[in-house]
Every structure is written in C-alpha cells, then in structure tokens.
C-alpha cells in the first residue's frame, strides 16, 4: 500500500504547502504551518477495500413528500436571520469577536428551542458545566430543559448524540473539539476540518440540527480553513462594537433563506434583548439638525433600516490629509471624494475627512453613496440639511446618479418614522409611498447646485 503524501497547512489562512517552513508565504504569519495527517494514518484507522458502490435510485422531485416544517425559536430576530426558523438536519456556523455575546445568544436560543418542544443538547468545550449554569441563572434560564455537557473529545460527543438522540446540538466551540483519528493539536486546520465534517455528516444522516460556534481571526474572518464555511448550510456573523450596546446578527450564507439578512439585539444586564424596530433605535440619539449629519435609508437583506451618517471635514495640520472611516468602505469614500472634485469642482485637498455610521452598524450597499456625498458637502459648507429628509442613491464615476432597488420599501420605512421628504436618483419607483416629497436628481452636480448653491 502506497504511503500517503504528507502535506502542510497554515492554521491562519488555510493555505497548503508541500513542505514545512517557519513563515507562511500566503499570509505572512510565523509558526502557523502544521502537518496534515491523513485519516488513513491516524490511530484506529482501517484499510478500506475496493468495494463496489450501491446503486442509487433516482426519484421524481415532484412526487417527494413535503419538506419537514421549520421550528420557530420564539426570537423573531433569530428566526428572521435563519430564513424563517430552524431547518431540521441543518448545520449552522456562528462566528464573532471574543466577548461579543455568542455564547449568551446561543444559550438563550437553546432555552427557547427547548421550551418549544425541541430536545436540545448544549456542549461546551471552553467552560465548565458549573460556569454555564451560573450564566443561565443570571439570564433567568436556570429552569430551562436543556441538556448540558462539557466535553472536547469528538468521539464522546458523537456517542452521546447517538444515545440521547437530540434534535438540536450546539457546539461551543468547534476550535476546542479534537478527533482521535487526526494526529494534530486541537484548533489546528486538520482538527477543525475533521470535527466539522463529522458533525455535519451526523446532522445530515440523523436529521439533527447542529449549531457550531467559531472563533474569528484578527481580520474578522472565522478561524480555520474556509472549507468549513462550505460544509455548513448557514454562516452567521455576530457583530458589534464594544462601546455600543447594539449587536448585529448577520447572515452571509443561507441555503434555506435570504443571505445578508440581519437581526438586531441589545446587550443588557439580563442578556440579549431583541430590537423590533432597529431604525428607531439607530436614530434615537439624533438631536437637532447639524452640519454633516444625514439619514440614510438602507436595505439589509429584506429589511429597510434607517441610520445616521455623520461626516466631519476640518483643515489638516499635516501635509498628508487624513481619511478615517468607521462602518463603511474606505475605498468607496475615496471614490466619492474623487467624483466630487472631478465632476463638481469641489476639492477636499488639505482637509481631514472623518466618516462614521452611527450605532455601530456596518453599511456595504452602494445606495449609501449619495448619503455620504451629501454628508461630506454639508460638513464642508457648514450647512445642515432639514431633519425630516432621508437620502439614498448610487453615484457613478461620471457623476450620474443611479437608481437603487426597493425604493418603495425605503420610503415607507422613512414615512413610518415621521420623515416627510427624500432625496433620490431619477428612475426610482416610489410606489404607494405618496405621502412624502420626493426630490429626484439625475446627476451629482445638479444636487450640489440645488441644495448647496454650488457646482
């Protein structure tokens, strides 16, 4: 029998190497390359013979029985992100920064699912059972019918799952699990990949829903090989700033629902509480109209969200002007500044520019271009916009304004919160939102000339 080829993998980025070296050429990190031991070389491995496979019978999809119903947790924000509830035999990966509240969220979710009749098993590899019980009592969940286990050996966990037959299993965290068939340390790429594969296969084979908690790297990505994200059905990121009480549960992959959906939570002394109307919460601290402050009507998944965009423009004391961004793409800010100077004749040379999305929310859609440009102009000209106005639209490199999708939903959300006017590109479909004054522009120069009298 031929000896399996030895390969090496970087624990930080998952890059493969033919030989060991002290520094990974892909990511530049030191002492992160470890040897991958194939499963055939691990302890207790068996030789697999060349048996013929069993033929599979094709069936007509139209004659298949209806899919099993989803299970609602009773937490509408969590159910929204999951696509309408928990799907049986699904694998879910939840990642987030340390201390952001992943374990608190999943312990509350486990209690809710168990209360709804789902047999739930919570496996912790980072805490003792007594510590989890203390946290449950602090959250008021001491009487929740959740089975608790503290273990890291994957074989013991799978045996327990086989015996107890739970319907939902929460693994906290996947980096602490180790398989005795893999000869490497817990948390390594090989261990994480093997543990995730075994748990995901068990979920599909037995019809059990599995939720895996994953650590994140300093770049904000889930630690371990990217193949783990491809194994699971749903990938969720739990985001938030330490200085803010808001937490965002964001779906970046979902085979059973819309991706880019968000759920909003607020961290309190008694755990995480849901925020039914995040727009009102993000705008709650907004006072009188001030220069550089505008309200952006955005869409996160299927939900319209109104958030305040804050800009500050000040003379720079240094030869190199500073550009600081929080909650938005810095490259997109550089593009908007270039369009303002090239197409509208408004320079920002020698001026420091600061941009912030209030509330700790991260905006990624291009529809925020127009709101950012308006906030920058408002701050530069020291002219405040009316408080009851919302703004959205995409800016092209030619200075033209492009319409964005779901204009009607954006306007309805703004109207519900008391806004009476909107600034948007020409071509949007306002639909039934006729109670608002809609100011539409074809290019950025026209908006600058009409609102700020320049350009």
Which residues are part of a known binding site for ATP? 96-103
d(CA 171, CA 298): 34
- Which residues, 6+ apart, have CB-to-CB distance to 40 below 8 Å? 4, 47, 48
Residues in binding site: 96-103
CB 414 within 8 A of CB 430: no
Burial degree of 365 (CB within 10 A; 0-12, 13-18, 19+): middle
Say if residue 173 is preceded by a cis peptide, omega within 30 of 0. Answer: yes
Cα separations in angstroms, 358 against 44, 184, 295, 325, 362: 55, 44, 10, 12, 9
Tokens standing for 371? Answer: 């709101």
- Which residues, 6+ apart, have CB-to-CB distance to 269 below 8 Å? none
d(CA 329, CA 368): 10
Residue 417 main-chain phi, psi, to 5 deg: -95, 10
Q: Which string of b and e fits 153-166 if b means at least 16 CB within 10 Å?
A: ebeebbebbeeeeb
d(CA 424, CA 376): 17
CB 27 within 8 A of CB 9: no
Q: Which string of b and e fits 250-262 if b means at least 16 CB within 10 Å?
A: bbebbebbeebbb
Residue 192's Cβ-side half-sphere holds a number of Cα atoms within 13 Å equal to 29
Residue position matching structure tokens 């006729």: 434
**CA terminus-to-terminus distance, the chain:** 76
SS3 228: helix
Dihedral (CA of 403, 404, 407, 411) sign = negative
CB 380 within 8 A of CB 313: yes
């Amino acid at each position: 029998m031929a000896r399996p080829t030895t390969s090496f993998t970087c624990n930080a980025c998952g890059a493969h190497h033919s030989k060991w070296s002290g520094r990974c050429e892909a990511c530049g990190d030191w002492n992160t390359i470890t040897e991958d031991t194939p499963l055939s070389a691990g302890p207790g491995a068996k030789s697999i013979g060349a048996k013929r496979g069993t033929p599979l019978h094709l069936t007509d999809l139209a004659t298949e029985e209806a899919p099993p119903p989803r299970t609602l947790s009773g937490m509408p924000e969590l159910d929204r992100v999951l696509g309408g509830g928990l799907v049986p035999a699904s694998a879910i990966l939840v990642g987030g920064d340390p201390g952001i509240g992943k374990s608190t969220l999943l312990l509350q979710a486990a209690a809710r699912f168990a209360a709804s009749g789902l047999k739930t098993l919570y496996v912790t590899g980072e805490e003792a059972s007594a510590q989890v019980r203390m946290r449950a009592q602090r959250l008021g969940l001491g009487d929740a019918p959740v089975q608790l286990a503290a273990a890291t050996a994957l074989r013991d966990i799978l045996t327990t799952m086989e015996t107890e037959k739970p319907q939902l299993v929460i693994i906290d965290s996947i980096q602490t699990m180790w398989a005795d068939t893999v000869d490497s340390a817990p948390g390594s790429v090989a261990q994480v990949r093997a543990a995730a594969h075994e748990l995901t296969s068990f979920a599909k084979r037995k019809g059990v829903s599995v939720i895996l908690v994953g650590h994140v790297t300093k770049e904000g990505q889930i630690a371990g090989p990217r193949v783990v994200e491809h194994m699971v059905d749903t990938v969720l990121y739990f985001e938030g700033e330490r200085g803010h009480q808001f937490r965002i549960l964001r779906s970046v992959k979902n085979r059973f629902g819309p991706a880019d959906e968000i759920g909003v939570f607020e961290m309190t002394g008694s755990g995480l509480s849901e925020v039914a109307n995040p727009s009102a919460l993000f705008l709650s601290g907004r006072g009188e109209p001030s220069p550089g402050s505008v309200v952006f009507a955005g869409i996160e998944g299927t939900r319209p969200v109104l958030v305040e965009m804050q800009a500050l423009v000040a003379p720079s004391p240094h030869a190199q002007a500073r550009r600081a961004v929080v909650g938005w793409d810095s490259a997109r800010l550089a593009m908007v500044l270039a369009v303002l100077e090239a197409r509208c004749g408004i320079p920002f040379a020698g001026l420091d520019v600061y941009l912030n999305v209030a509330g700790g929310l991260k905006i990624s859609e291009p529809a925020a271009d127009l709101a950012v440009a308006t906030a920058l102009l408002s701050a530069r000209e020291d002219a405040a916009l009316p408080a009851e106005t919302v703004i959205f639209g995409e800016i092209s490199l030619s200075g033209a304004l492009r319409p964005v999708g779901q204009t009607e939903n954006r306007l309805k959300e703004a109207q519900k919160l008391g806004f009476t006017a909107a600034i948007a590109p020409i071509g949007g479909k306002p639909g039934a939102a006729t109670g608002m004054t809609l100011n539409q522009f074809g290019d950025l120069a026209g908006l600058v000339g009409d609102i700020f009298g320049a350009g």
